[in-house]
Amino acid sequence: MFWLHAVSAVRIVMLSPQNTLSDVMPHHELEIVYREIINKIYKIIPPMLESFHKGQLGRVAVIGGSEDYTGAPYFSGMASAKLGADMSHVICEPGAGQVIKTYSPNLMVHPYMRQSKNMKEGENIDNISKTVTDMLSRLHVVVIGPGLGRDEAMQETCARVIQEARKQGIPFIVDADGLFIIQNRPELVQGCTECILTPNIVEFGRLAKAQGIDANGDPSKLCEELAKKFGGPTIIQKGAKDYISNGKHTFVNDNEGGLKRSGGQGDTLTGSLATLLAYRKAYHDRIWDHENDLSESETLALVAFGGSAITRECSRLAYKEKGRSLQAADLTEHVHTAFLNTIGEKTKI
């Protein structure tokens, strides 16, 4: 059984279920194909111009953060900021907000979310979710799930955020306990092409089971099959290799990463994806002069691959420095270097 592995808009390679791109192509050809992909991602990256004003290069919000989980939204927000987003917001529970504010003054923290047990008199899901969704018009991208937890009120608020983001055409990324929402209510993302889901192997298995898919099999085929079931979203199945599919095209990123699997590394991925999606919007809005030769569907796939590549390089750099002591915070400090190593800076048109 063979499947099509789309490595770029112009190059397609046949792979067996057991093989990846590096198994069937000579190293020099692999480098050429990889460079083709990176060169296209490079086109999306805005140059650093004096004419830009605050906010044009990314207004991102991470929605999550509860009493028990304060690190995840911080890691995601900081990855977004370190990759170059002008403004990085965290929308969270008040108990998490006070803590996250002490982590960094660079994040704008809004304690608008509520766990069920912490709702005050007069507060309900309707007015809480409205407070959150009222912020969407100020944003380019939303990340839903880091540190969210499974409290019913928190989950329902985020479900409404997803609905409103779709109405407004705002791209969003769903991770962690945000995926629990999708597992139970797949219609929220059904047919949405401006959505990226980032499950790990366990979360992927739950999503697959909910869609009636046997998760035991070739990961690349499974990722493609699940993406087809959703009919729009791009899925990044995280692991030793990252499988990326929108149901039509599938990438496998087996770039070297670190060997430590400490919790929280996926938050660097969501933050990186958020900034790249903001850059994608800037590209399609043509806030600088460029060829404008990439379609919206193509740039979304490139963003997914770019976020994966940057995160894996962060992991590699952090592991090289820290070894088995590596923690999620170590990746944050390598985001900029990982960007330079994988994509490269753009200072001029």
Residues in the annotated binding site for (6S)-NADPHX: 147, 200-206, 267
Smallest Cα–Cα separation from 254: which of 227, 219, 228? 219
**Residue 255 three-state SS:** coil
Annotated binding site: 147, 200-206, 238-242, 257-267
How far, in Å, CA of 209 to CA of 40, rounded? 35
Give how far the C-alpha of residue 57 lies from the chain's centroid of Cα atoms, to the nearest Å. 17
Helix (H) or strand (E) holding 197: strand 195-197
Residues contributing to the annotated binding site for ATP: 238-242, 257-266
Helix axes 201-210, 219-230, angle to 10 degrees: 50
Q: How far is CA 88 from CA 5, 77, 110, in A?
A: 35, 6, 11
User: Residue 304 belongs to what H/E stretch?
Assistant: helix 296-322
The whole-angstrom separation of Cα 199 and Cα 197 is 6
Q: Is 337 helix (H, G, I), strand (E, B) or coil?
A: helix
The half-sphere exposure of 345 on its side-chain side, counting CA atoms within 13 A, is: 9
Question: What phi-psi label fits residue 330: left (phi over 0), alpha (psi between -120 and 50 degrees) or beta?
Answer: alpha
Amino acid at 20: T
Tokens of 191: 């047919």
Tokens of 164: 């409103």
Residue 260 C-alpha from the chain's centroid: 20
Instruction: Take residue 207 and report the two structure tokens written for it.
Output: 């999503």
Q: How many CA atoms, within 13 angstroms, populate the side-chain half-sphere of residue 213?
A: 21
> Using CA atoms, how far apart are residues 63 and 222, in angstroms rounded to an integer?
28
E strand map for the chain: 3-6, 12-15, 59-63, 87-91, 108-110, 141-144, 172-174, 195-197, 234-237, 242-245, 250-253
